[in-house]
Structure 1
């Protein structure tokens, strides 16, 4: 091989290695980036195949083996050791920004003729009547969807079902990610919280490992998850604490833990734009779904999945009215499949 040819081969090897390093460091999305990069390169080079020697003299099977081995090696390179051992494909997943969704839903329903009474408090509810600060409203059916405030209107029901308030700490941050976060990112801490995974055999081993490695995060009852908004900022969450009442004072240790884990995962330091405390109903079951009085239905998600399942729960409740007379019970109360002790491990306590 001539010195010129050897130089060209070495230069090509250096350029290829440099491209792999840059691609791996900047993409942070591994195989999808590699796939689309390969597609683009193939489309660019395909017209040149006939004038560059074609497929050569190799047998088709040998050519296929070479392509397959190369693809596997590249995929393995693009994923850092231990970075991923599995995944989930959610073809029907839908994201909605609650800051925008609430106003959009309200406007949509108002356009259909639904009457909203803002700045109006409810004092008491009985069959056929809702007593408010603006007078009494008569109704054949009443749905109480007050979430954690169900204990203010029906304290006996809340006590019977073990419903308390759950406070959470969340952040909105800016961070110079090397690539957009095109879908919500949930971690192992998130999987411990949701019933579909909590019923699998793997949940015990995952919980044991995470709690052993980071007891400090377990004490915060962490749900480590991230979502990027259209403006590029990211929602970072979240820690949890429960009680009959939630104090408004947020410990800075919780925010520091969220920010440290963000930097560890993404490799960049985030800048906090907003901090807030959320409150939702937390009970032994996933949902409160029952008739408290004839014609008075209580409905709430009693875990942290209210924004995920709220519209479906509403459809479920209203659908039950079709099979019952006005002012009567709609159906047998619905409960979750998780027993109280399983729920304790699933969400944790603090």
Structure 2
């Protein structure tokens, strides 16, 4: 074990993505001293590679509770850390009658959380192609710029006394201390928030919880219409992926139609959606591939599928690509992983692709349990 001692704190957090920072934030709110260990020079994982979408309303069960609590924290952190927060909600575009039926059923279930729109209202909110039959606005949903927000939160936490050990790898995690590549940190409690890399530290735990890596095809494209789009934009394919819609009887009809007419979209796990970055470019995506070890070679067909379907949604012939990347997040049968592999050690991961939506609500619950 490394002999030099970096310090002693109440809580050591391993991982400076949104899950780790949420726990550091919750600990500081309790008046605890905190150190964050991050293997890279800045957060480079799922927390900066996503849509920046706080998809609150489409959640269900405990995820919905965490999302609602997280929304309040996003508003407070945006004010305190000075990053942009969009509060125009989410626009769900229905391009078939069965999709609009799902939205109508969802509105019955959620009341004021869902506002139905006709096709003309949808067109006023976002540029969409032909074939739109209606839609809905989910006004509670929020947006941030993921390339800015996580870094701003880390800067705010540093100003509030959190010690960050960047470019530092956690080697050995034991009750009361963490041995890193730069020395040992002593701690009353340890939170391990390393996302899909939980198997690097606790392989048996990861195997038991069936944690895999989910790879996403995502792109930044020029806005072909040159207009501001306030809300995040989801489609009928999104309804198949978010738990909140599962209670809607008409969802079975949507799934059957897509399976019959577009099996390739289901095979790719396409969640057709986009958000707009400051400056106008669109973040578009995304496909889903699940493996324990990701194949480093990604077929161009996945990006082509995303581009073609997004162009069709926007009613244009083609799109100009600015950037391409692979998002990666932890995936498992249960949406949240919270485990205690040793006394005073919590392993925490959002294993459903909704870390930005829920982490700020999940972290206080974990900290309460740690005492």
Match of 1:149 among 184, 190, 197: 197
Determine helix, strand or coil for the equivalent of 1:190.
helix
Q: 1:76 to 1:93 in 2, by over 3 A?
A: closer
Match of 1:310 among 355, 359, 364: 359
Distance in 2 between residues matched to 1:184 and 1:104, nearest whole Å: 21
Q: Which has the higher contact order (CA 8 A, sep 6+)?
A: 2
Structure 2 equivalent of residue 276 of structure 1: 325
Contact kept, 8 Å, 2:213 with 2:291, in 1: the verdict is: yes
Structure 2 equivalent of residue 319 of structure 1: 368
1:198-209 alignment runs, 5 A limit: 198-209=246-257
Contact kept, 8 Å, 1:124 with 1:130, in 2: the verdict is: yes
1:82: how far off? 5.2
1:116 aligns with 2:172: no
1:89 aligns with 2:160: no
Distance in 1 between residues matched to 2:203 and 2:224, nearest whole Å: 47
Structure 2 equivalent of residue 176 of structure 1: 224
Q: 1:128 to 1:205 in 2, by over 3 A?
A: same
Distance in 1 between residues matched to 2:332 and 2:121, nearest whole Å: 44
Q: 1:74 to 1:106 in 2, by over 3 A?
A: closer
1:254: how far off? 0.7
Structure 1: which 5+ runs fail to align?
A: 1-28, 30-71, 325-350
Distance in 1 between residues matched to 2:196 and 2:321, nearest whole Å: 28
Structure 2 equivalent of residue 287 of structure 1: 336
Structure 2: which 5+ runs fail to align?
A: 1-90, 92-117
Structure 2 equivalent of residue 56 of structure 1: none
1:239 aligns with 2:287: yes
Distance in 2 between residues matched to 1:167 and 1:199, nearest whole Å: 27
Give the superposed CA RMSD. Answer: 2.5
1:283: how far off? 0.2
Match of 1:264 among 308, 312, 325: 312
Distance in 2 between residues matched to 1:214 and 1:202, nearest whole Å: 18
Q: Normalising by structure 1, report the TM-score.
A: 0.67
Determine helix, strand or coil for the equivalent of 2:325.
strand
Rg larger for: 1
Determine helix, strand or coil for the equivalent of 1:280.
strand
1:290: how far off? 2.4
Distance in 1 between residues matched to 2:236 and 2:363, nearest whole Å: 30
Distance in 2 between residues matched to 1:74 and 1:119, nearest whole Å: 51
Relative to its length, the structure with more strand (as a share) is 2
Contact kept, 8 Å, 1:172 with 1:274, in 2: the verdict is: yes
Distance in 2 between residues matched to 1:205 and 1:226, nearest whole Å: 24
1:173-208, Cα deviation, whole Å (9 max, x unpaired) = 003216422211001111111111123323222111
Contact kept, 8 Å, 1:250 with 1:277, in 2: the verdict is: no
Structure 2 equivalent of residue 252 of structure 1: 300
Distance in 2 between residues matched to 1:311 and 1:295, nearest whole Å: 21
